[in-house]
Amino acid sequence: MDLQELYRETILDHSRRPRLAGLREPFDTEVHQVNPVCGDEVTLRLRLGAGSGGDRPLTDVSYDAAGCSISQASTSVMVDALTGRSAAEAALAYRVFHDIVTTRGTMTADPLDHLPVDLADALGDAPAFAGVARYPARVKCALLGWTALRQALVETA
Amino acid sequence: MSRSPGPDLVDDFPVLARTVRDGKRLVYLDSGATSQRPLQVLDAERRFVTTSNAAVHRGAHQLAEEATEAYEAARATIAAFVGARADEVVLTKNATEGINLIAYSLSNASTTPGAEHLALGPGDEVVVTEMEHHANLVPWQELCRRTGATLRWYGVTDDGRLDLDSIELSARTRVLAFVHTSNVLGTVNPVTELVDRARAVGALVVLDACQSVPHLPVDLPALGVDVAVFSGHKMLGPTGIGVMWARADLLDQLPPFLTGGSMISTVTMEGSSWAPAPQKFEAGVPMVSQAVGLAAACDYLTEIGMDVVAAHERALTARILDGLADLPGIRVVGPTGTTAAELADRGGTVAFVVDGVHAHDVGQVLDDRGVAVRVGHHCAWPLHRRMGVQATVRASTHVYSTEADVDALLEAVRATQGFFGVTTTTGAGVR
């Protein structure tokens, strides 16, 4: 496996220019996630809009992250894709992204196939992380920001 | 004729002949985490298991006798390796268990008649340093939490040495625990000076020798410390065995940590009494084949000569430091001097950061080229915070490491900078 398979241009680009980065007000909950192996960390704030249950939109997801290019980029891709989406869509996206980075080279179908078309479009950068699945030590890096968002969604449910 | 460190020894370590990541030669520079084991160690374990395996210190059959003799002979060899008496060497699961053993024994002193003078309480102090591995920090934090004692620590200077002026020990300092050679910085701490300070206030001295005993000639009793720990797997021996050495009179006074079989003198339904040390601290059937393997590792290193091992690693450390100094955008976290005097106070671990590239990403590119290093905080998170870095790349050598390994590391670091486009010197840029 080539290094370029892991470090796709999409990932390098997001790691250098993280989208929607920074911590913003107002927010409903703030969570902190750490990778104890390497000390990478992310602080993530979630602001939800009006609605009930899974229909509530993620009106703002802001974050401050310190870590490797994989964790920085995956958080950026997540926030870029899910801001404005509903909580239910975010939960669905988590499951899909988790599959992408943990299914060790066995994923054959397009991981975004069974998603609604507009959500699949929003997550267009996510399959770039498929190379992570070949390196078990990097899975935690790729999931750091996503784990933070999932925790924030649980706390605001 | 004894052999020289480096390429001459490669045949003893078959794992070094394998390839990784699509045919790349394995360049193993992670010996600070765990060292590779020579065939001589594996053969000794196999010989024991295939001829004499039995539970030690119990049973009257021939195998039990032979196993007990093998275990105690191993203890004597391990003790001699660090200049110690056999009855002062307690064999543990690993060095971490050794530090927990002493910390919990000190806890238990408060409820053990005759050992109360060793107990800690509110107002007492345990002193550590900011450069400790978590294994020599967390158990002391926990001891303080259980007893109400206060944890204090020596700070670290910007160049990665202990700041000996940062605190003063007091009459309430009961324990001074510090690392001999830092597992990150490579700094060798001034043991004599620290022992003198502890003696002046009557504190026990506990030495974490995990990164010194495997790489330098070390005579533990001569250092003047009271307790020292090290682990087998960092000195060409097996995992699952560590050593806690302590002065005999201290072992006599300390209550046990783990209790059960093997460590007793008499047992009734109402209560029990303890066997003399070291058995008092070795509850349950011990790790016999690991002890035999570790003794074989001691023999292997002794045959080469620990002074020769140390000189070999100093030369490689200088090659790493000089090579990194020639590269732009590299910051070594720890002492960087390569004169003979400077290297005498330094072990063979070199931690560094590559400007603009996170340590994990550096490690990934190195791994792609077959170079195995450690990335992260190396179980020394407070030290990384102190040095202002989130994570570092750590290269660490041992007796089998070669100049070619160092050159492969340096080339891979250059390639990393090219891959991530953080330097113009290679021209490769990011693809």
- pLDDT tens-digit series, residues B94-131: 999 999 999 999 999 999 999 999 999 999 999 999 99
CA–CA gap between residue B378 and residue B30 (Å, rounded) = 11
Closest approach of A44 to chain B, Cα-based (Å)? 19
Res A105: pLDDT: 58
Res A111: pLDDT: 81
Closest approach of B430 to chain A, Cα-based (Å)? 8
| pTM, to two decimals | 0.94
CATH of the domain at A65: 3.90.1010.10
CB B417 within 8 A of CB B431: no
Res B176: pLDDT: 98
Instruction: Note whether B7-30+305-419 and B42-301 share their fold.
Output: no
- pLDDT tens-digit series, residues A75-122: 999 999 999 999 999 999 999 999 999 986 566 677 888 889 999 999
* Least-confidence region, from A91-105, A115-129, A135-149, B132-146: A91-105
Q: Residue B265 pLDDT > 50, yes or no?
A: yes
- pLDDT tens-digit series, residues B22-44: 999 999 999 999 999 999 999 99
SS3 of residue B168 by DSSP: coil
Res A37: pLDDT: 81
Q: Residue B427 pLDDT > 50, yes or no?
A: no
What angle, 0 to 180 degrees and rounded to 10, lies between the N-to-C axes of helices B39-51 and B288-304?
Answer: 140
Res A112: pLDDT: 87
Q: How buried is residue B305: exposed, middle or buried, by Cβ count under 10 Å (0-12/13-18/19+)?
A: middle
Residue among A3, A37, A66 minimizing CB distance to B419: A3
In chain B, pLDDT over 90 holds for what percent of residues? 96
CA–CA gap between residue B343 and residue B346 (Å, rounded) = 5
CB B91 within 8 A of CB B286: yes
Q: Read off the pLDDT of each residue in B233-244 and give the average, rounded to a whole number.
A: 98
Q: Residue B59 pLDDT > 90, yes or no?
A: no
Place of tokens 């209790």: B259
Res B428: pLDDT: 39
Res A108: pLDDT: 64
Domain ranges in chain B? 7-30+305-419, 42-301
Q: Say whether B210 is catalytic.
A: no
Closest approach of A121 to chain B, Cα-based (Å)? 25
- pLDDT tens-digit series, residues A21-56: 999 999 999 999 999 887 899 999 999 999 998 999
CB B174 within 8 A of CB B125: yes
pLDDT tier at A132 (50, 70, 90 boundaries)? Answer: very high
Residue among A1, A4, A38 minimizing CB distance to B376: A38
pLDDT tier at B85 (50, 70, 90 boundaries)? Answer: very high
Q: Could you tell me the two tokens for B137?
A: 């920090």
Res A97: pLDDT: 96
Q: How many domains does chain A have?
A: 1
| ipTM for the whole complex | 0.91
Q: What residue spans of B270-305 are helical by DSSP H?
A: 288-304
CATH number of B7-30+305-419: 3.90.1150.10
- pLDDT tens-digit series, residues B358-379: 999 999 999 999 999 999 999 9
Q: Could you tell me the two tokens for B80?
A: 């001699």
- Arithmetic mean of pLDDT over chain B: 96
Q: How far is CA A127 from CA A10, A17, A101, B244, in A?
A: 10, 19, 9, 51
Res A104: pLDDT: 63
Closest to B312 measured CA to CA, from B37, B2, B4, B3 = B4
DSSP string, B171-184: TTEEEEEEESB-TT
Q: Read off the pLDDT of each residue in B179-197 and give the average, rounded to a whole number.
A: 98
Architecture (CATH level 2) of domain B42-301:
3-Layer(aba) Sandwich (3.40)
Q: Residue B429 pLDDT > 90, yes or no?
A: no
CB A86 within 8 A of CB A26: no
Residue A34's domain comprises 3-156
CB contact under 8 A, A39 and B419: no
> Which residues, 6+ apart, have CB-to-CB distance to B312 below 8 Å?
B4, B5, B6, B399, B401
CB contact under 8 A, A68 and B361: yes
Res B178: pLDDT: 98
Instruction: Count Cβ atoms below 10 Å from residue B302 Cβ, excluding itself.
Output: 15
Q: CA B285, B289, B292, B298 torsion: positive or negative?
A: negative
Chain pair A-B, CB pairs under 8 angstroms? 51
- Residue of chain B with shortest Cα separation from A132: B364
Strand partners, A64: A43
* Least-confidence region, from A1-10, A11-20, A143-152, B400-409: A1-10
pLDDT tier at B431 (50, 70, 90 boundaries)? Answer: very low
